[in-house]
Amino acid sequence: MGTGLNEREGELEAFTADEAAAGARLDQWLTGACAGTLSRNRIKHLIEQGRVRLNGETVAEPKRKLRAGDRVELALPEPEDPEPAPEAIPLSVLYEDADVIVIDKPAGLVVHPGPGNPSGTLVNALLAHCGDTLSGIGGVKRPGIVHRLDKETSGVMVVAKNDRAHQALSAQFADHGRTTGMRRAYLALVWGAPDRMTGTIETFLGRSSRDRMKQAVVGETQPDARYAVTHFKVLERYGDPTGASPVASLVECRLETGRTHQIRVHMAHVGHPLIGDQDYGKGFSTKANTLPSPLREAVSGFTRQALHAASLAFEHPASGELMTFQSPLPADMTELASGFRQAFGKT
């Protein structure tokens, strides 16, 4: 493969192929270089439409072979998605002022409109709640959004209500708390338990070669590879009375970086995928059959990844005050953890 995106020129995205890209197909390499934002079919159609230039010349052959040093330019068409409309969707507001609104997002709520979810999202709810005050920096489909949670992940989110707040919060999230008070902590119920009570998972994440809709631990040289660090702490282990390894555990995960599906991929990578995760823990789904009733039925019926954004700290974009918000473990995860405690005890 080759290097990732290295410069943006107006409506063009420009890439340069490295030595590893020599002989690769243009459509395949460019899909990886686009950091997982475009499918291979989409890339192929853009090439056929004449939206890709190779060393300054338009090329319409997706199978065109690359050479080291080739410069590839991709002209993306303007998005044609309709502007989201306000919808009266109830929100659990933890805090609100003229600059920010902090909400406790329930599982099942999509953050912003996209393919398959044109409405009924958090953005639609925010537009109804905040009116015209939302920041537009994130674009018409993501007004005020500076970070996101997966649809089935619950917990604390902050949204900017004006451009100044959007810029300040975006900078804090990009900094990942290195120079600011930004902190994010998640609670996860996972299969088994790490062999240490605390630890750090440090990898590169990128688009999976087996399923382009998923992320995976990848080599540093993959074009869309992004450095990812998760710190974990085991809070509870649900032991097996026979003395075998713990059946499950409650783990706190603190993000040093914020990559797509980071906690889900990292915990699966170390052999402890999230309970209910159909994307990264599907191979563990039959473990529910080994559990005693009624825990077996509870786990089988738990259809989302057991992940909750439990706390969020950030510096207020106007006052600079460090603000911390917490969300208790939601009822479904509380009941699941209780079921494991009753069945196996905790350590």
Which among 27, 70, 150, 279 is annotated as catalytic? 150
Q: Supply 77's token pair.
A: 């068409």
Is position 150 annotated as part of the catalytic site?
yes
| Neighbour-count burial of 217, counting CB atoms closer than 10 A to its CB (0-12 exposed, 13-18 middle, 19+ buried) | middle
- Per DSSP (E only), the strands in the chain are 7-9, 12-16, 52-54, 57-58, 71-75, 93-96, 100-105, 154-160, 183-191, 198-207, 215-217, 226-238, 248-255, 307-315, 322-326
Per-residue HEC secondary structure of 118-178 comes to CCCCHHHHHHHHHHHHCCCCCCCCCCCECCCCCCCCEEEEEEECCHHHHHHHHHHHHHCCC
Q: Tell me which residue of 266, 253, 265 sits closest to 185, measured CA to CA.
A: 253
DSSP string, 166-218: HHHHHHHHHHTTSSS--EEEEEEEEES--SSSEEEEEEEEEE-SS-TTSEEE-
Asked if residue 347 lies in contact with residue 244, where contact means CB atoms within 8 angstroms, the answer is no
- By three-state DSSP, how is residue 264 classified? helix
Quick one: which of 56, 43, 61, 59 has its CA closest to 16?
56
How far apart are alpha carbons 6 and 168 in whole angstroms? 24
Q: Any idea which residues carry the catalytic annotation?
A: 150
